[in-house]
């Protein structure tokens, strides 16, 4: 099992509803992987499965919706207790990780 | 032919390196529970003989492959004097060559089987895989056949030193050092005879495809998995169903090229990285030990193979098993009785269900 992580901590006080398993976004597809709201992802093509943090799920869903990086950062800083510079660093690191584990092509 | 066909199945040992026979029996009984099945075994301790769910109705010991082809046919004739089976489903690689090379010997005895032609069988031989892959534009690790220690080391050096040493029919050992290579070489030579294969080591995830060819280039059904768990010897102990159009296309091109008739298992490694490609490791000319897993998901390939051998119309199209279903093998202890062991060891046969007590009520297939 591979891990798609994003270390950003949750902003519990403001919008906890987004981070509760089952209460967040419904299942969605990101490239070849189907992600469940609880952070479990399955790639039917490769048979691999993954886990992702709530923040990672938000990023992948945003990427799937075609959001620009600045919009994704807006979403992350609104939902998690994180400075924009930290979120930016974590986002870059996460995008590189997505490429590394083959979940998104390098052009993204 | 018997009013209700009697089926002979080999390869009943589900030990550390499980053979497919018991899985084939279980699959056949899912569709034809009253089918009379006999086991042809090479050892009185083949575990499938003592299973409550997968055991054959009767079992007979066979002569070892080392005893030669004539002894094989002679023993088959002796067994058929007692149990005149109609269909043979061979489940061991070492049995395939004499059957495929002389199909007339099966025909003249009235034994039906679902086997590839000698030509397609030879084309999938480990030593011929590169030619097949070239014709089908499929990647395969470089493999060299060797028959002495000098050429073993030479072959390994030309493949970068990090290689697999493989037996002609079964087994593979990862070997990096010269000493490990030599030990593996002598083991394979002793177990499976010459030549021994030296194969480039491709790192990545392993994928297997089980299927059934109709002999005209069509696949009647298939199921693809990624190996999730592996034993120390590399055998799959768990697998997840996948559906990859790229893998399907490769499998189809191989079966079209071979015009394969009967069951097969394709073994691939997908090289690591986002641009990883499927690399064909080998083609097994029989069902794999995990063939009952797709049967549990309405893709019963052994039952379809039986229908193909008998010339019956398939019951219904085989379903494609859904990605996300997986199997995990579970080893359990079974209870045997000394009487059965004694009968098999001294007489070469034992009957769990005597022939005369087996009713064959009409089922949906008229068994």
Interface test with A, best of B230, B244, B293 (most A CBs within 10 A): B244
Interface test with A, best of B241, B274, B290, B321 (most A CBs within 10 A): B274
Sign of the C-alpha dihedral computed for residues B268, A96, A94 and A105 taken in this order: negative
Q: What is the DSSP letter of B232?
A: T
Please tell me the distance in Å from B226's CA to the nearest CA on chain A: 6
Interface of B with A in 207-226 (CB under 8 A): 207, 225-226
Cβ B211 vs Cβ B251: under 8 Å: yes
User: B205-215: b or e for each residue (b if 16 or more CB lie within 10 Å)?
Assistant: bbbbbbbbbbb
In A, which residues are within 8 Å of B323 by CB distance? 42, 44-45, 47
Which pLDDT score, from 0 to 100, does residue A5 have? 55
In B, which residues are within 8 Å of A96 by CB distance? none
Q: Which residues pair with B146 in a beta bridge?
A: B196
* Per-residue pLDDT in tens (0 to 9) along chain B, 367 residues: 777 899 999 999 998 889 999 999 999 999 999 999 999 999 999 999 999 888 999 999 998 877 888 999 999 999 999 999 999 999 998 899 889 999 999 999 999 999 999 999 999 998 889 999 999 999 999 999 999 999 999 999 999 999 999 998 778 889 999 999 999 999 999 988 889 999 999 889 999 999 999 999 999 999 999 999 888 777 889 999 999 999 999 999 999 999 999 999 999 999 887 678 999 999 999 999 999 999 999 999 999 999 999 999 878 788 889 999 999 999 899 888 888 889 889 999 988 866 554 444 444 444 4
In A, which residues are within 8 Å of B270 by CB distance? 46
Which pLDDT score, from 0 to 100, does residue A6 have? 58
In B, which residues are within 8 Å of A45 by CB distance? 242-244, 323
Cβ B114 vs Cβ B308: under 8 Å: yes
Cβ A46 vs Cβ A32: under 8 Å: yes
What is the spatial distance between Cα A101 and Cα B283, in angstroms, rounded to a whole number?
29
Structure tokens at B64: 């070892």
Q: What is the DSSP letter of B197?
A: E
Interface test with B, best of A29, A47, A98, A105 (most B CBs within 10 A): A47
- What 3-state DSSP class applies to B110? coil
Residue B250 CB neighbours (<10 A): 24
Which pLDDT score, from 0 to 100, does residue A7 have? 53
Structure tokens at B142: 């470089």
What is the spatial distance between Cα B100 and Cα B285, in angstroms, rounded to a whole number?
10
- Could B244 and A48 be called an inter-chain contact, meaning their C-beta atoms sit closer than 8 Å? no
- Could B244 and A46 be called an inter-chain contact, meaning their C-beta atoms sit closer than 8 Å? yes
- Could B323 and A47 be called an inter-chain contact, meaning their C-beta atoms sit closer than 8 Å? yes
Which pLDDT score, from 0 to 100, does residue B236 have? 83
Cβ B169 vs Cβ B94: under 8 Å: yes
What is the spatial distance between Cα A93 and Cα B136, in angstroms, rounded to a whole number?
40
Contact pairs from chain A to chain B, CB under 8 Å: 33
Which pLDDT score, from 0 to 100, does residue A15 have? 35
Which pLDDT score, from 0 to 100, does residue B275 have? 77
- Could B242 and A99 be called an inter-chain contact, meaning their C-beta atoms sit closer than 8 Å? no
Q: Which residues pair with A41 in a beta bridge?
A: A35, A50
Sign of the C-alpha dihedral computed for residues B168, B252, B27 and B228 taken in this order: positive
Mean pLDDT by 10-residue block, N- to C-terminus, for chain A (108 residues)? 49 37 67 92 93 94 94 95 94 92 70
Which pLDDT score, from 0 to 100, does residue B24 have? 98
Q: Which residues contact B69 (CB under 8 A, 6 or more apart)?
A: B98, B102
Beta-strand pair A40-43/A33-35: antiparallel
Region of residue B298 (phi > 0: left; psi between -120 and 50: alpha; otherwise: beta): left
């Amino acid at each position: 099992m591979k891990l798609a992580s994003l270390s950003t901590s949750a902003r519990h006080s403001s919008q906890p509803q987004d981070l509760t398993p089952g209460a967040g976004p419904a299942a969605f597809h990101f490239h070849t992987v189907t992600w469940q709201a609880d952070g479990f992802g399955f790639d039917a093509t490769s048979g691999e499965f993954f886990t992702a943090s709530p923040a990672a799920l938000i990023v992948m869903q945003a990427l799937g919706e075609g959001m620009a990086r600045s919009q994704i950062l807006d979403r992350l800083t609104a939902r998690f207790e994180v400075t924009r510079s930290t979120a930016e660093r974590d986002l870059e690191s996460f995008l590189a990780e997505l490429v590394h584990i083959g979940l998104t092509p390098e052009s993204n | 032919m018997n009013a209700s066909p009697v089926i002979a199945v080999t390869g009943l040992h589900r030990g550390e390196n499980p053979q497919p026979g018991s899985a084939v029996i279980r699959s056949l009984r899912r569709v034809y529970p009253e089918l009379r099945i006999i086991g042809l075994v090479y050892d009185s301790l083949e575990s499938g003989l003592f299973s409550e769910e997968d055991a054959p109705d009767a079992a007979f010991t066979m002569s070892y492959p080392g005893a030669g082809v004539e002894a094989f046919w002679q023993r088959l004739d002796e067994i058929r004097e007692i149990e005149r089976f109609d269909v043979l489903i061979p489940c061991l690689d070492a049995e395939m060559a004499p059957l495929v090379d002389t199909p007339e010997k099966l025909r003249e005895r009235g034994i039906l089987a679902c086997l590839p032609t000698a030509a397609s069988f030879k084309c999938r031989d480990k030593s011929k895989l590169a030619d097949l892959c070239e014709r089908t534009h499929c990647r395969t690790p470089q493999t060299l056949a060797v028959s002495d220690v000098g050429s073993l080391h030479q072959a390994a050096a030309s493949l970068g030193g990090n290689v697999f040493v493989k037996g002609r029919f079964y087994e593979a050992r990862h070997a990096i050092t010269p000493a490990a290579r030599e030990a593996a070489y002598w083991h394979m030579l002793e177990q499976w005879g010459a030549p021994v294969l030296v194969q480039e080591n491709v790192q990545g995830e392993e994928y297997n495809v089980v299927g059934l060819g109709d002999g005209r280039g069509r696949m009647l059904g298939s199921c693809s998995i990624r190996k999730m768990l592996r034993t120390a010897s590399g055998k799959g102990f768990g697998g997840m169903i996948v559906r990859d159009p790229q893998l399907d296309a490769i499998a189809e091109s191989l079966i079209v090229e071979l015009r394969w008739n009967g069951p097969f298992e394709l073994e691939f490694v997908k090289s690591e990285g986002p641009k990883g490609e499927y690399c064909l490791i080998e083609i097994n000319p029989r069902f794999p030990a995990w063939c009952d897993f797709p049967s549990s998901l309405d893709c019963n390939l052994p039952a379809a193979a039986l229908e193909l051998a008998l010339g019956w119309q398939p019951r219904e199209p085989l379903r494609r098993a859904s990605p996300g279903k997986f199997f995990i093998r579970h080893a359990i202890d079974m209870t045997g009785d000394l009487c059965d062991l004694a009968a098999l060891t001294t007489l070469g046969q034992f009957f769990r269900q005597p022939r005369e007590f087996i009713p064959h009520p009409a089922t949906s297939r008229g068994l």
